[in-house]
A = this chain, B = another copy of it.
Protein backbone atom coordinates (compact mmCIF):
# COMPACT_ATOMS: atom_id res chain seq x y z
CA UNK A 1 0.00 0.00 0.00
CA UNK A 2 1.22 3.50 -0.76
CA UNK A 3 0.77 6.10 1.93
CA UNK A 4 1.35 9.82 2.27
CA UNK A 5 1.48 11.04 5.87
CA UNK A 6 1.04 14.80 6.15
CA UNK A 7 2.72 15.78 9.40
CA UNK A 8 2.73 18.79 11.70
CA UNK A 9 6.11 17.84 13.07
CA UNK A 10 8.55 15.06 12.16
CA UNK A 11 11.30 14.12 14.58
CA UNK A 12 13.57 12.50 12.01
CA UNK A 13 16.40 11.16 14.23
CA UNK A 14 18.73 12.20 11.40
CA UNK A 15 20.97 15.26 10.97
CA UNK A 16 17.91 17.09 9.65
CA UNK A 17 16.51 17.14 13.18
CA UNK A 18 12.91 18.32 13.41
CA UNK A 19 10.96 19.07 10.20
CA UNK A 20 7.67 20.99 10.17
CA UNK A 21 4.78 20.96 7.70
CA UNK A 22 6.41 18.01 6.01
CA UNK A 23 5.17 14.73 4.61
CA UNK A 24 6.43 11.15 4.51
CA UNK A 25 5.78 9.13 1.35
CA UNK A 26 5.67 5.36 1.81
CA UNK A 27 5.66 2.71 -0.90
CA UNK A 28 5.11 -0.85 0.27
CA UNK A 29 7.38 -1.34 3.28
CA UNK A 30 9.69 1.64 2.64
CA UNK A 31 9.91 5.37 3.10
CA UNK A 32 10.58 6.74 -0.41
CA UNK A 33 10.61 10.48 0.26
CA UNK A 34 10.45 13.01 3.10
CA UNK A 35 9.84 16.68 2.26
CA UNK A 36 7.51 19.67 2.32
CA UNK A 37 3.81 18.76 2.17
CA UNK A 38 3.36 21.18 -0.73
CA UNK A 39 6.06 19.36 -2.74
CA UNK A 40 5.02 15.80 -1.94
CA UNK A 41 1.26 16.16 -2.21
CA UNK A 42 1.12 16.52 -6.03
CA UNK A 43 3.79 13.85 -6.43
CA UNK A 44 1.92 11.18 -4.43
CA UNK A 45 -1.62 12.13 -5.44
CA UNK A 46 -2.77 8.51 -5.61
CA UNK A 47 -1.42 7.46 -2.22
CA UNK A 48 -3.75 6.95 0.67
CA UNK A 49 -3.48 9.96 3.01
CA UNK A 50 -2.98 10.05 6.75
CA UNK A 51 -3.64 13.43 8.30
CA UNK A 52 -1.14 14.01 11.08
CA UNK A 53 -1.02 17.78 10.77
CA UNK A 54 -1.75 18.37 14.45
CA UNK A 55 0.48 15.52 15.47
CA UNK A 56 4.12 14.62 15.98
CA UNK A 57 5.62 11.74 14.01
CA UNK A 58 8.63 9.79 15.33
CA UNK A 59 10.61 6.79 14.21
CA UNK A 60 9.03 3.78 15.92
CA UNK A 61 10.69 3.27 19.30
CA UNK A 62 13.15 0.41 19.63
CA UNK A 63 13.17 -1.70 22.78
CA UNK A 64 16.62 -3.30 22.95
CA UNK A 65 16.11 -5.59 25.96
CA UNK A 66 13.04 -7.61 26.82
CA UNK A 67 11.84 -11.09 27.70
CA UNK A 68 8.49 -10.78 25.96
CA UNK A 69 6.91 -14.00 27.21
CA UNK A 70 7.27 -12.92 30.83
CA UNK A 71 4.45 -10.36 30.56
CA UNK A 72 2.34 -13.36 31.56
CA UNK A 73 3.93 -12.92 35.00
CA UNK A 74 3.45 -9.13 35.26
CA UNK A 75 3.12 -8.26 38.95
CA UNK A 76 3.40 -11.88 40.04
CA UNK A 77 6.23 -11.00 42.45
CA UNK A 78 7.60 -7.60 43.47
CA UNK A 79 9.48 -5.84 46.25
CA UNK A 80 11.52 -8.93 47.14
CA UNK A 81 15.25 -9.44 47.44
CA UNK A 82 16.76 -10.86 44.23
CA UNK A 83 17.40 -14.35 45.62
CA UNK A 84 13.86 -14.82 46.99
CA UNK A 85 12.37 -13.24 43.89
CA UNK A 86 14.23 -15.50 41.45
CA UNK A 87 14.54 -18.74 43.41
CA UNK A 88 11.25 -18.80 45.31
CA UNK A 89 8.97 -17.01 42.86
CA UNK A 90 10.06 -16.55 39.23
CA UNK A 91 11.99 -19.78 38.49
CA UNK A 92 9.48 -22.14 40.16
CA UNK A 93 6.59 -20.76 38.14
CA UNK A 94 8.59 -20.47 34.90
CA UNK A 95 9.28 -24.22 35.09
CA UNK A 96 5.61 -24.77 34.37
CA UNK A 97 5.44 -22.44 31.37
CA UNK A 98 4.63 -24.20 28.10
CA UNK A 99 5.04 -23.06 24.50
CA UNK A 100 1.50 -21.75 24.38
CA UNK A 101 2.06 -19.77 27.60
CA UNK A 102 5.12 -18.22 25.96
CA UNK A 103 3.06 -17.35 22.91
CA UNK A 104 0.30 -15.76 25.02
CA UNK A 105 2.76 -13.66 27.02
CA UNK A 106 4.65 -12.54 23.91
CA UNK A 107 1.44 -11.62 22.09
CA UNK A 108 0.42 -9.48 25.07
CA UNK A 109 3.84 -7.78 24.96
CA UNK A 110 3.52 -7.23 21.21
CA UNK A 111 0.14 -5.51 21.60
CA UNK A 112 1.32 -3.43 24.55
CA UNK A 113 4.47 -2.43 22.65
CA UNK A 114 2.60 -1.31 19.55
CA UNK A 115 0.09 0.62 21.67
CA UNK A 116 3.05 2.49 23.15
CA UNK A 117 4.70 3.39 19.84
CA UNK A 118 7.35 0.67 20.00
CA UNK A 119 7.88 -0.96 16.61
CA UNK A 120 10.87 -3.22 17.34
CA UNK A 121 11.51 -5.44 20.35
CA UNK A 122 14.65 -7.43 21.10
CA UNK A 123 13.56 -10.43 23.17
CA UNK A 124 15.43 -13.24 24.90
CA UNK A 125 13.51 -16.34 25.99
CA UNK A 126 13.24 -20.08 25.52
CA UNK A 127 12.47 -21.00 21.90
CA UNK A 128 10.01 -23.77 21.36
CA UNK A 129 9.11 -24.91 17.86
CA UNK A 130 5.36 -25.20 18.10
CA UNK A 131 4.55 -21.91 19.84
CA UNK A 132 7.03 -19.10 20.30
CA UNK A 133 7.66 -15.38 20.55
CA UNK A 134 8.48 -15.00 16.85
CA UNK A 135 5.06 -16.32 15.95
CA UNK A 136 3.41 -13.86 18.35
CA UNK A 137 5.37 -10.89 16.97
CA UNK A 138 4.58 -11.93 13.38
CA UNK A 139 0.89 -12.24 14.25
CA UNK A 140 0.80 -8.73 15.76
CA UNK A 141 2.95 -7.27 12.96
CA UNK A 142 5.69 -6.23 15.40
CA UNK A 143 9.31 -6.15 14.26
CA UNK A 144 11.61 -8.12 16.48
CA UNK A 145 14.86 -9.86 17.16
CA UNK A 146 13.86 -13.13 18.75
CA UNK A 147 16.50 -15.12 20.55
CA UNK A 148 16.93 -18.44 22.25
CA UNK A 149 18.57 -18.22 25.65
CA UNK A 150 21.47 -20.63 26.21
CA UNK A 151 22.71 -22.23 29.45
CA UNK A 152 25.60 -24.61 30.12
CA UNK A 153 23.23 -27.22 31.49
CA UNK A 154 21.36 -27.75 28.22
CA UNK A 155 23.87 -27.47 25.40
CA UNK A 156 22.31 -30.10 23.17
CA UNK A 157 18.84 -28.66 23.52
CA UNK A 158 20.15 -25.15 22.82
CA UNK A 159 21.85 -26.25 19.61
CA UNK A 160 18.64 -27.72 18.28
CA UNK A 161 16.56 -24.74 19.34
CA UNK A 162 19.00 -22.25 17.77
CA UNK A 163 19.01 -24.20 14.51
CA UNK A 164 15.20 -24.38 14.43
CA UNK A 165 14.79 -20.70 15.33
CA UNK A 166 17.29 -19.42 12.78
CA UNK A 167 16.18 -21.65 9.91
CA UNK A 168 12.51 -20.97 10.45
CA UNK A 169 12.52 -17.26 11.36
CA UNK A 170 15.70 -15.36 10.43
CA UNK A 171 14.72 -12.68 7.88
CA UNK A 172 11.21 -14.04 7.57
CA UNK A 173 7.83 -12.27 7.38
CA UNK A 174 9.06 -9.74 4.85
CA UNK A 175 12.15 -9.14 6.96
CA UNK A 176 10.17 -8.36 10.11
CA UNK A 177 11.73 -11.08 12.26
CA UNK A 178 15.39 -11.80 12.93
CA UNK A 179 16.89 -14.53 15.09
CA UNK A 180 19.64 -14.13 17.67
CA UNK A 181 21.92 -16.32 19.77
CA UNK A 182 21.48 -15.46 23.46
CA UNK A 183 24.09 -16.72 25.93
CA UNK A 184 22.22 -16.07 29.17
CA UNK A 185 25.10 -14.51 31.14
CA UNK A 186 28.85 -14.90 31.71
CA UNK A 187 28.19 -16.87 34.92
CA UNK A 188 25.66 -19.35 33.50
CA UNK A 189 27.48 -20.10 30.23
CA UNK A 190 30.87 -21.70 30.83
CA UNK A 191 33.95 -20.53 28.90
CA UNK A 192 34.00 -23.51 26.54
CA UNK A 193 30.32 -23.21 25.80
CA UNK A 194 30.69 -19.49 25.17
CA UNK A 195 33.37 -20.25 22.54
CA UNK A 196 31.24 -23.05 21.09
CA UNK A 197 28.32 -20.64 20.73
CA UNK A 198 30.58 -18.21 18.88
CA UNK A 199 31.57 -20.97 16.44
CA UNK A 200 28.00 -22.14 16.09
CA UNK A 201 26.85 -18.57 15.39
CA UNK A 202 29.35 -18.50 12.48
CA UNK A 203 27.89 -21.75 11.20
CA UNK A 204 24.31 -20.50 11.40
CA UNK A 205 25.28 -17.17 9.84
CA UNK A 206 26.94 -18.89 6.90
CA UNK A 207 23.73 -20.81 6.27
CA UNK A 208 20.99 -18.32 7.01
CA UNK A 209 22.39 -14.79 7.36
CA UNK A 210 24.08 -12.04 5.36
CA UNK A 211 26.23 -9.03 6.36
CA UNK A 212 23.10 -6.84 6.03
CA UNK A 213 21.11 -9.23 8.15
CA UNK A 214 23.44 -10.62 10.83
CA UNK A 215 22.59 -13.15 13.50
CA UNK A 216 23.48 -11.06 16.55
CA UNK A 217 24.11 -12.01 20.18
CA UNK A 218 21.93 -10.81 23.04
CA UNK A 219 23.29 -11.42 26.51
CA UNK A 220 23.22 -10.08 30.08
CA UNK A 221 26.47 -8.41 31.13
CA UNK A 222 27.51 -6.99 34.51
CA UNK A 223 23.97 -6.60 35.80
CA UNK A 224 24.78 -7.03 39.50
CA UNK A 225 27.72 -6.14 41.71
CA UNK A 226 28.58 -9.77 42.46
CA UNK A 227 28.91 -10.93 38.87
CA UNK A 228 32.71 -11.25 38.87
CA UNK A 229 32.41 -13.36 42.01
CA UNK A 230 29.70 -15.52 40.44
CA UNK A 231 31.96 -16.24 37.45
CA UNK A 232 34.86 -17.11 39.75
CA UNK A 233 32.68 -19.41 41.83
CA UNK A 234 31.13 -21.14 38.82
CA UNK A 235 34.24 -21.73 36.73
CA UNK A 236 37.23 -21.26 39.09
CA UNK A 237 38.55 -18.54 36.80
CA UNK A 238 39.56 -15.04 37.84
CA UNK A 239 37.31 -12.26 36.54
CA UNK A 240 39.04 -9.56 38.56
CA UNK A 241 39.59 -7.24 35.61
CA UNK A 242 35.85 -7.02 35.05
CA UNK A 243 33.10 -9.01 33.40
CA UNK A 244 33.65 -7.64 29.91
CA UNK A 245 37.40 -8.13 30.28
CA UNK A 246 36.77 -11.75 31.25
CA UNK A 247 34.60 -12.30 28.16
CA UNK A 248 37.33 -10.73 26.03
CA UNK A 249 39.80 -13.39 27.15
CA UNK A 250 37.51 -15.94 25.49
CA UNK A 251 37.82 -14.14 22.15
CA UNK A 252 34.05 -14.12 21.66
CA UNK A 253 33.38 -10.38 21.58
CA UNK A 254 32.15 -8.84 18.31
CA UNK A 255 30.47 -5.57 17.35
CA UNK A 256 27.07 -7.19 16.93
CA UNK A 257 26.57 -8.10 20.57
CA UNK A 258 23.78 -6.53 22.60
CA UNK A 259 25.13 -6.37 26.15
CA UNK A 260 22.14 -5.80 28.40
CA UNK A 261 22.56 -3.74 31.59
CA UNK A 262 26.34 -3.06 31.93
CA UNK A 263 25.76 -1.64 35.39
CA UNK A 264 29.00 -2.64 37.13
CA UNK A 265 31.92 -1.98 34.80
CA UNK A 266 35.63 -1.56 35.39
CA UNK A 267 37.65 1.01 33.45
CA UNK A 268 39.08 -1.86 31.42
CA UNK A 269 35.53 -3.08 30.69
CA UNK A 270 34.57 0.31 29.28
CA UNK A 271 37.70 0.38 27.11
CA UNK A 272 36.87 -3.05 25.70
CA UNK A 273 33.22 -2.14 25.06
CA UNK A 274 34.58 0.79 23.09
CA UNK A 275 37.34 -1.04 21.20
CA UNK A 276 35.23 -4.06 20.29
CA UNK A 277 32.25 -1.81 19.50
CA UNK A 278 29.82 -3.78 21.65
CA UNK A 279 26.35 -2.28 22.02
CA UNK A 280 24.77 -1.60 25.42
CA UNK A 281 21.05 -2.06 26.17
CA UNK A 282 20.40 0.28 29.09
CA UNK A 283 17.40 -0.84 31.21
CA UNK A 284 17.22 1.70 34.04
CA UNK A 285 13.76 0.82 35.38
CA UNK A 286 14.68 -2.82 35.86
CA UNK A 287 18.08 -1.91 37.35
CA UNK A 288 16.33 0.28 39.94
CA UNK A 289 13.49 -2.14 40.72
CA UNK A 290 15.88 -5.06 41.31
CA UNK A 291 18.25 -2.69 43.13
CA UNK A 292 21.07 -3.63 40.76
CA UNK A 293 22.43 -0.09 40.59
CA UNK A 294 22.87 2.59 37.94
CA UNK A 295 24.81 2.05 34.71
CA UNK A 296 27.49 4.70 34.00
CA UNK A 297 25.71 5.79 30.83
CA UNK A 298 27.06 9.36 30.58
CA UNK A 299 30.59 7.93 30.70
CA UNK A 300 29.78 5.27 28.07
CA UNK A 301 28.36 7.95 25.79
CA UNK A 302 31.44 10.14 26.27
CA UNK A 303 33.59 7.18 25.23
CA UNK A 304 31.50 6.81 22.10
CA UNK A 305 29.85 3.52 23.06
CA UNK A 306 26.44 3.02 21.41
CA UNK A 307 23.71 2.79 24.06
CA UNK A 308 20.13 1.77 23.29
CA UNK A 309 17.24 1.63 25.75
CA UNK A 310 15.24 -1.34 26.99
CA UNK A 311 12.38 -2.08 29.34
CA UNK A 312 13.54 -5.52 30.45
CA UNK A 313 10.74 -7.96 31.31
CA UNK A 314 7.39 -7.15 32.88
CA UNK A 315 8.57 -8.94 36.01
CA UNK A 316 11.20 -6.31 36.68
CA UNK A 317 9.57 -3.17 35.28
CA UNK A 318 6.44 -4.01 35.06
CA UNK A 319 5.58 -2.67 31.66
CA UNK A 320 6.85 -2.53 28.09
CA UNK A 321 6.59 1.26 27.99
CA UNK A 322 9.48 2.98 26.21
CA UNK A 323 8.09 6.45 27.01
CA UNK A 324 8.63 5.66 30.69
CA UNK A 325 12.13 4.36 29.97
CA UNK A 326 12.98 7.56 28.08
CA UNK A 327 11.83 9.78 30.93
CA UNK A 328 13.55 7.73 33.63
CA UNK A 329 16.78 7.68 31.58
CA UNK A 330 16.77 11.46 31.17
CA UNK A 331 16.02 11.99 34.88
CA UNK A 332 18.20 9.37 36.49
CA UNK A 333 21.56 10.33 35.05
CA UNK A 334 21.00 13.99 35.92
CA UNK A 335 20.20 13.05 39.50
CA UNK A 336 23.08 10.62 39.87
CA UNK A 337 25.74 12.78 38.23
CA UNK A 338 24.54 16.01 39.84
CA UNK A 339 24.62 17.63 36.40
CA UNK A 340 21.21 18.65 34.98
CA UNK A 341 22.65 19.03 31.48
CA UNK A 342 23.42 15.28 31.18
CA UNK A 343 21.30 13.32 28.69
CA UNK A 344 19.14 15.96 27.05
CA UNK A 345 15.70 15.08 25.71
CA UNK A 346 17.13 15.08 22.19
CA UNK A 347 19.91 12.67 23.11
CA UNK A 348 17.52 10.31 24.89
CA UNK A 349 15.21 10.32 21.86
CA UNK A 350 18.17 9.26 19.72
CA UNK A 351 18.93 6.45 22.17
CA UNK A 352 15.34 5.20 21.83
CA UNK A 353 15.40 5.34 18.00
CA UNK A 354 18.51 5.44 15.82
CA UNK A 355 20.91 4.31 18.55
CA UNK A 356 18.50 1.49 19.40
CA UNK A 357 18.66 0.44 15.76
CA UNK A 358 22.48 0.52 15.89
CA UNK A 359 22.33 -1.52 19.10
CA UNK A 360 20.50 -4.26 17.18
CA UNK A 361 22.81 -3.92 14.10
CA UNK A 362 19.67 -3.00 12.19
CA UNK A 363 20.30 0.71 11.51
CA UNK A 364 20.57 0.28 7.74
CA UNK A 365 16.83 -0.37 7.77
CA UNK A 366 15.25 1.22 10.84
CA UNK A 367 15.63 3.88 13.55
CA UNK A 368 15.10 7.11 11.61
CA UNK A 369 12.73 8.79 9.20
CA UNK A 370 14.51 9.14 5.86
CA UNK A 371 14.17 7.87 2.32
CA UNK A 372 15.28 4.27 1.91
CA UNK A 373 14.46 3.13 5.43
CA UNK A 374 11.63 0.78 6.35
CA UNK A 375 8.45 2.63 7.27
CA UNK A 376 8.32 2.12 11.06
CA UNK A 377 6.55 5.13 12.57
CA UNK A 378 4.70 6.28 15.68
CA UNK A 379 2.24 9.16 15.39
CA UNK A 380 1.66 11.01 18.66
CA UNK A 381 -1.45 13.09 19.32
CA UNK A 382 -0.51 16.35 21.05
CA UNK A 383 -4.09 17.55 21.57
CA UNK A 384 -3.98 16.66 25.26
CA UNK A 385 -3.95 18.94 28.31
CA UNK A 386 -0.70 17.38 29.56
CA UNK A 387 1.00 18.21 26.24
CA UNK A 388 -0.03 21.88 26.26
CA UNK A 389 1.33 24.40 25.64
CA UNK A 390 4.01 23.37 23.13
CA UNK A 391 7.41 25.05 23.15
CA UNK A 392 9.57 22.07 22.16
CA UNK A 393 8.21 18.80 20.81
CA UNK A 394 11.30 16.73 21.69
CA UNK A 395 11.09 17.85 25.32
CA UNK A 396 7.42 16.92 25.39
CA UNK A 397 8.05 13.44 23.96
CA UNK A 398 10.60 12.64 26.67
CA UNK A 399 9.30 14.57 29.69
CA UNK A 400 5.54 14.91 29.24
CA UNK A 401 4.09 12.44 26.72
CA UNK A 402 2.76 9.00 27.66
CA UNK A 403 2.59 5.81 25.67
CA UNK A 404 -1.19 6.33 25.60
CA UNK A 405 -0.69 9.48 23.49
CA UNK A 406 0.44 7.36 20.53
CA UNK A 407 -2.54 7.09 18.23
CA UNK A 408 -1.28 5.46 15.06
CA UNK A 409 1.58 3.04 14.43
CA UNK A 410 3.03 1.87 11.12
CA UNK A 411 5.44 -1.06 10.89
CA UNK A 412 7.05 -2.17 7.63
CA UNK A 413 4.64 0.16 5.81
CA UNK A 414 1.59 -1.44 7.35
CA UNK A 415 -0.83 0.42 9.66
CA UNK A 416 -0.92 -1.88 12.69
CA UNK A 417 -2.72 0.58 14.97
CA UNK A 418 -5.03 3.41 13.93
CA UNK A 419 -6.68 5.80 16.43
CA UNK A 420 -5.52 3.38 19.16
CA UNK A 421 -7.25 0.43 17.54
CA UNK A 422 -4.99 -2.55 16.91
CA UNK A 423 -5.59 -3.85 13.37
CA UNK A 424 -3.78 -7.17 13.49
CA UNK A 425 -5.06 -8.96 16.59
CA UNK A 426 -8.30 -9.07 18.56
CA UNK A 427 -7.21 -7.33 21.75
CA UNK A 428 -10.18 -8.29 23.93
CA UNK A 429 -9.85 -11.93 22.98
CA UNK A 430 -6.10 -11.82 23.71
CA UNK A 431 -6.70 -10.31 27.17
CA UNK A 432 -9.27 -13.01 27.98
CA UNK A 433 -6.86 -15.68 26.72
CA UNK A 434 -4.07 -14.27 28.88
CA UNK A 435 -6.22 -14.47 32.03
CA UNK A 436 -7.19 -18.04 31.21
CA UNK A 437 -3.56 -18.95 30.51
CA UNK A 438 -2.56 -17.43 33.85
CA UNK A 439 -5.22 -19.39 35.76
CA UNK A 440 -4.11 -22.65 34.14
CA UNK A 441 -0.47 -21.89 34.86
CA UNK A 442 -1.18 -21.21 38.55
CA UNK A 443 -3.23 -24.41 38.68
CA UNK A 444 -0.35 -26.48 37.24
CA UNK A 445 2.18 -24.83 39.57
CA UNK A 446 0.21 -25.65 42.74
Residue positions of A touching B, CB distance < 8 A: 72-76, 78-82, 85, 108, 111-112, 115-116, 285, 287-294, 314, 317-321, 324, 327-328, 330-332, 334-335, 337-345, 383, 385-386, 388-392, 395-396, 399-400, 402-405, 427-428, 430-431, 434-435, 437-438
Contact = CB atoms under 8 A, between A and B. Distances in A.
A92 to B, nearest CB: 14
B400 A75 contact: yes
B288 A335 contact: yes
A291 B337 contact: yes
A72 B389 contact: yes
Given A289-B334, A328-B331, A334-B288, A75 B395 contact: yes
Contact of A79 (B112, B293, B344, B389): B344
A287 B335 contact: yes
Contacts of A72: 389
Contact of A340 (B81, B318, B339, B428): B81
A106 to B, nearest CB: 12
Contacts of A337: 291
A293 B431 contact: no
B345 A389 contact: no
Contact of A386 (B112, B327, B388): B112
Given A386-B115, A388-B74, A388-B108, A400 B82 contact: no
30 contacts: A72-B389, A74-B391, A74-B396, A75-B391, A75-B392, A76-B391, A76-B392, A78-B344, A78-B392, A78-B399, A79-B330, A79-B340, A79-B395, A81-B339, A288-B332, A289-B399, A291-B334, A291-B335, A294-B335, A317-B399, A318-B395, A318-B396, A319-B399, A319-B400, A320-B386, A388-B435, A389-B434, A389-B438, A390-B435, A391-B438
A245 B428 CA distance: 57
B75 A399 contact: yes
A73 B389 CA distance: 7
Contacts of A73: 391
A340 B294 CA distance: 14
B388 A291 contact: no
A79 B318 contact: no
Contacts of A385: 108, 111-112, 115, 427, 430-431
